[in-house]
């Protein structure tokens, strides 16, 4: 390869320059966004399995038991789907492939968190219970992850990676 064939990035700050320098390293905001989604995966796994297990232990027999277990299996399937999407999104964001891979499960988790909080506030049933801490923290972390993955440094990095 001759010297004329090599592509050289224009790093000058001249007003008419056609190329701008692109960030080569992963921004800190992308790393933090990825790490903040890990607790969400763990909680979705635990919650889905716990709900299914609770439905299996429900009393009753016949069609009622089948319906209850079917609902539990449906909730478990949704939880496993969110886990799969979040894991794939973490991988996609980590390699710089696409920010939407992480934004979708983070947005779903945060949206579910907001809907539940607004519903509880509207009904006047929101009070502190120790069991509410984990969903509040996970919903908040998913919201922060969503904001970080859509931040200007992250968008610039993903754009430079060709997504």
User: Residue 162: its pLDDT value, please?
Assistant: 75
User: Residue 142: its pLDDT value, please?
Assistant: 94
User: Residue 16: its pLDDT value, please?
Assistant: 52
User: Residue 7: its pLDDT value, please?
Assistant: 43
User: Residue 37: its pLDDT value, please?
Assistant: 94
- Whether the CB-CB separation of 67 and 119 falls below 8 Å is answered with no
User: Residue 15: its pLDDT value, please?
Assistant: 54
Q: In the chain, where are the structural domains located?
A: 27-160
- Split the chain (163 residues) into runs of 10 and give each run's mean pLDDT: 44 51 77 94 93 87 86 94 94 90 92 86 76 82 94 91 69
């Amino acid at each position: 390869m001759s010297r004329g064939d090599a592509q050289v990035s224009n790093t000058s700050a001249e007003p008419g320059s056609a190329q701008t320098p692109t960030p080569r390293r992963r921004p800190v905001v992308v790393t933090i966004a990825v790490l903040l989604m890990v607790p969400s995966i763990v909680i979705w796994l635990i919650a889905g399995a716990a709900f299914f297990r609770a439905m299996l232990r429900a009393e009753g027999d016949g069609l009622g038991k089948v319906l209850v277990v079917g609902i539990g299996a449906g909730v478990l399937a949704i939880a496993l789907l969110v886990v799969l999407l979040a894991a794939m999104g973490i991988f996609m964001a980590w390699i710089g492939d696409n920010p939407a891979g992480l934004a979708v499960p983070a947005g779903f988790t945060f949206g579910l968190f907001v809907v539940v909080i607004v519903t509880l506030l509207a009904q006047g049933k929101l009070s502190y219970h120790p069991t509410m801490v984990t969903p509040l923290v996970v919903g908040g972390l998913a919201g922060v992850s969503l904001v970080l993955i859509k931040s200007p440094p992250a968008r610039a990095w993903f754009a430079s990676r060709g997504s």
